[in-house]
Amino acid sequence: MLVDTYGRVATDLRVSLTDRCNLRCTYCMPEEGMQWLAKPDLLTDDEIVRLIRIAVTDLGVTDVRFTGGEPLLRPGLVGIVERCAALLPRPKLSLTTNGIGLGRTAAALRAAGLDRVNVSLDTLRPDVFHTLTRRNRHQDVLDGLDAARAAGLAPVKVNSVLMRGVNDDEAPELLRWALAEGYELRFIEQMPLDAQHGWQRTDMVTAEEILGALRTRFTLTAEGEPARGHAPAERWLVDGGPARVGVIASVTRPFCRACDRTRLTADGQVRNCLFAREESDLRGALRSGAPDHEVAARWKAAMWGKKAGSGLDDPAFLQPDRPMSAIGG
């Protein structure tokens, strides 16, 4: 198993399939994009499936989430999902996406074995969408959400980041919309993982603020500590339930003590934390002919050294060199 010195066990694997993206969310990437990873540096589909197989069959991983960058830009995605769904024990398979192109692929992904999807959408206003993502693709995301629901990728979750002065007035309206559409909404506090290093704690819209805004229109009842479990989202019943809203307060209410995650970048590096500054190279091991047990041993060693927390509250905190889009959010 993937255990660390604090006794945490990582069972939830996040796999970044590409660092590329068709949006330029201001909290994530600069307008001009990034220096993308070179194709030969990316894991091939076979290498990705092999590493996921090792994680699932030898290392106790039970949940696999595909992310990026924008994972729908990976040409082999449906095939990767299909091969992972055939693994024994079968892992739960989910996808985090900006939703663009999901209109065309949701049914095929479901048929391949994808269980769930999280779609990122921060606003209901097309002009604000353009301000936030620098692209006019709002309707594509809404279409993607419709298709995910129609394909049975339930529950469809929606991730929203609120930015001060841009969409921070939209929390109640986003929740009203999500309830009407049957999506489960989760707000994510903005984290210092943007490529531009522009994050400022004083600018960030906090969980407290978000909850305060929601309470002007809804009654929220905490589901309590046990319900949170390993999930980073604290969840509230809305107007008595059964509908819920979540808040992922990575900055103001970190969940590091219960963290069960391990991460694989698109170029085959294991990261034991989003905020880690070290990585362990599995691609090199694969390409030098290492057998499964040796790859597994490297992965275990990488997790053993996981720090107690993200270090965000440490005055000496240094943002990781790689941004969220390259690590896999």
**For residue 4, what is the DSSP state?**
-
Half-sphere exposure at residue 166, Cβ-oriented, CA atoms within 13 angstroms = 22
CB of 295 to ligand SF4, least distance (A): 27
Report the partner that residue 190 touches, choosing among ligand SF4, ligand SAM, none (CB closer than 5 to 8 A by kind): ligand SAM
Q: Segment near ligand SF4 (CB under 6 A), from 21-29, 45-53, 110-118, 216-224?
A: 21-29
Determine, following the binding rule CB under 6 A, whether residue 159 of this chain makes contact with ligand SAM.
yes
Buried b (16+ CB within 10 A) or exposed e, 282-302: bbebbeeeeeeeebbeebbeb
- 273 annotated to bind ligand: yes
Answer yes or no: is 84 a known binding residue.
Answer: no
Among 13, 15, 29, 95, binds ligand SF4 (CB under 6 A): 29
Residue partners of 202: CB distance under 8 A and separation at least 6: none
**135: CB partners within 8 A, 6+ apart:** 22, 23, 24
Closest CA to 184 of 251, 132, 117: 117
Does residue 77 belong to the site contacting ligand SAM (CB under 6 A)?
no
Partner from ligand SF4, ligand SAM, none binding residue 37, C-beta < 5-8 Å depending on class: none
Structure-block tokens of residue 63? 């949940």
Q: What share of the chain is helix, strand, coil (3-state, %, to 5)?
A: 35, 15, 50
Tokens coding 201: 């704690």
Span from 65-73, 75-83, 143-151, 179-187 in contact with ligand SF4 (CB under 6 A): 65-73
Residue 191: name its binding partner from ligand SAM, ligand SF4, none (Cβ under 5 to 8 Å by kind): ligand SAM
- Using CB under 6 A as the binding rule, whether residue 310 contacts ligand SF4 is answered as no
Applying the rule CB under 6 A, the residues between 53 and 72 that interact with ligand SAM are 67-68, 70
| Binding region for S-adenosyl-L-methionine | 27, 69, 120, 191
In the complex, which residues of this chain contact ligand SF4 (CB under 6 A)? 21, 23-25, 28-29, 68-70, 98, 120, 325
